[in-house]
Chains A and B, each alone.
Chain A
Amino acid sequence: MPVKVRIPTPLRKLTKEKDIVELNGASDIGDLIESLEKNYPGIKERLVDEKGEVRRFINVFINDEDIRFLENKKTSLKDGDEVSIVPAIAGG
């Protein structure tokens, strides 16, 4: 079973307007970003900064848990996990 990735609106031009993509074989979040890049060239530089870290205005969740509360890019993935890429949003 692959990992499901929810793509936010600003990145859908790169995924041919798909809001969910499925990827096989990624072992952790860093690996998943590489795998996204292979399938959708150009997406990596949108997600990570020049130091290779996830950009500061992006929140990444695995099954509803923020990866900053887990192991950031080294957070491991298993089959069936759902990953959400979410832009930071204002307060209310």
Chain B
Amino acid sequence: MDKKGRFFSGLVCRECGRKYPPAAIHVCEYDFGPLEVAYDYEKIAKAVSREKLAARPETMWRFRELLPVAGDPTVGEQVGYTPLVKCDRLARALGAKTVYVKNDTVNYPTLSFKDRVVSVALSRAREMGFHVVACASTGNLANSVAANAAAAGLKSYVLIPADLEAGKVLGSLIFGTNVVAITGAYDQVNRLCSEIANKYGWGFVNVNLRPYYAEGSKSMGFEMVEQLGWRFPDNVVVPMASGSLLTKIHKSFNELVKVGLMKEPRALVKIHGAQASGCSPISTAFKEGKDFYKPVQHPRTIAKSLAIGTPADGYYAIQAVKQTDGGCEDVSDEEIVEGIRLLASTEGIFSETAGGVTVACAKKLVQTGKIGKHESVVLCITGHGLKTQEAVTGKCGQPRIISPKLSEFEKIYEEDFGKS
């Protein structure tokens, strides 16, 4: 811990290792490599233990030494520690032995894993004195920035593609944020944001606050290991948009070893990436044995939250999958809907389209033997289905309408069970 109480000293370029102060900057001036937070792991190792963590409230902040906020978090103190659900019925359907869902459909306050990254980004933004926060988003991030900014009394702007699902648009507007919808794909929203990010002195959570923001995703990995009784799963399946969540879950496992919370010499978890076939630059590159992806100009998938054609962390995601002997898969829109329905009908969990991608890809990974039949697997389910109702509307039946008469209900009973 330095004199300000921090467990991190600054930022460092992931490509060349050049050091930078812990400011609102995100790329190296020399090679444009992403900047990452530099922690003092020895000091963290001395400060944490399983017992100490167990005594803290059940939120993502019980891992606060490994999250880049100098003081106590001031935004989203209640975020995280979502249920890890053992899914025996889903396991049977997938043909796997032990399946868990890390259920971020019920994350607080906006029902997606983005609440994790936003609580770090906005807590850090306040420490750095920002009064206006903003983001480029495919929906979930916008919802979370809008809600958490409202609760923190910060002014916010969220920039989204104009064709997002109604639930995701309303899910931002309700918080009184400024929603700017851009005609074009997410990558064009992104480009505009990087051009305006530094123009007005705003804290842009996934631009100039990115090094802090992205670290919040690690908490999903920390939590699942603790919830498994301080055991690593054999496999984890992670949906990929920019690839950031996957790389941070990989990092979280390695950090648990580094700071001594896990005693193994290294984390042996196969990390698998899941994409929609209509926008699969990362899984396509992986399958072709390439290190770098070819951007997708016109994403076409119902999984809009994953529709990023130029994934910033695609290169590192491929590396993480390779290093851990994982795999990548991608699935069609029909398979995504099937995945959503399977998770809902076997486990009672209503996921957004990205979860359908994860479930459907997990099925393929089991079928191809990439996930062994006797191994354990955690599926990262990252957002709630009520946000993307368009994807399944009309695809899960209709209510049968009757008048309030016993005779009419009896007809339904007979249809379903035969004459009593």
Contacts and interface: CB of A to CB of B under 8 A. Distances in A.
Interface of A: 6, 8-11, 13, 45-46, 49, 55-59, 61, 64, 66, 68-69, 84, 86-92
Contacts of B194: 8, 86-87, 89
A86 B213 contact: no
30 contacts: A10-B27, A10-B29, A11-B29, A46-B29, A56-B315, A58-B32, A64-B191, A66-B295, A66-B297, A66-B310, A68-B294, A68-B295, A69-B295, A69-B297, A84-B191, A86-B195, A87-B32, A88-B27, A88-B312, A89-B190, A89-B193, A89-B194, A89-B312, A90-B207, A90-B313, A91-B141, A91-B312, A92-B114, A92-B141, A92-B190
B142 A92 contact: yes
B12 interface: no
A89 B210 contact: yes
A15 B341 CA distance: 55
A10 B28 contact: yes
Interface string B129-156: 0000001111011100000000000000
A92 B135 contact: yes
A90 to B, nearest CB: 4
B283 interface: no
Interface in B26-42: 26-34
Nearest to A42: B30
Interface in B154-202: 186-188, 190-191, 193-195, 197-198
Contacts of B136: 89, 92
A56 B290 CA distance: 13
Interface string B239-276: 00111100000000000000000000000000000000
A79 B295 CA distance: 27
Nearest to A57: B32
B29 A92 contact: no
A83 B143 CA distance: 32
Contact of A92 (B32, B206, B310): B206
Interface residues of B, number: 49
Given A86-B194, A91-B308, A92-B186, 10 more contacts: A9-B197, A13-B29, A56-B292, A56-B315, A66-B310, A69-B297, A84-B191, A88-B32, A89-B26, A91-B241
B188 A87 contact: no
A90 B244 contact: yes
A83 to B, nearest CB: 12
A55 B292 CA distance: 12
B32 A55 contact: yes
B295 A90 contact: no
Interface in B288-316: 292, 294-295, 297, 308, 310-313, 315
Contact of A46 (B15, B30, B135, B315): B30
A46 B292 CA distance: 19
B243 A91 contact: yes
B361 interface: no
B380 interface: no
A86 B213 CA distance: 19
A46 B312 contact: no
B337 interface: no
Nearest to B241: A91
A59 B28 CA distance: 15
Contacts of A59: 191, 310
Nearest to A9: B198
Given A55-B32, A57-B34, A89 B297 contact: no
Given A59-B310, A66-B295, A68-B295, A90 B32 contact: no
A14 to B, nearest CB: 9
Contacts of A89: 26, 136, 190, 193-194, 206-207, 210, 312
Contacts of A13: 29
A91 B297 contact: no
Contacts of A46: 29-32
Nearest to A54: B32
A23 B210 CA distance: 32
Query: 10 smallest A-B Cβ distances: which pairs?
Result: A91-B242, A92-B141, A92-B137, A88-B312, A57-B32, A91-B241, A87-B27, A90-B206, A10-B29, A9-B198
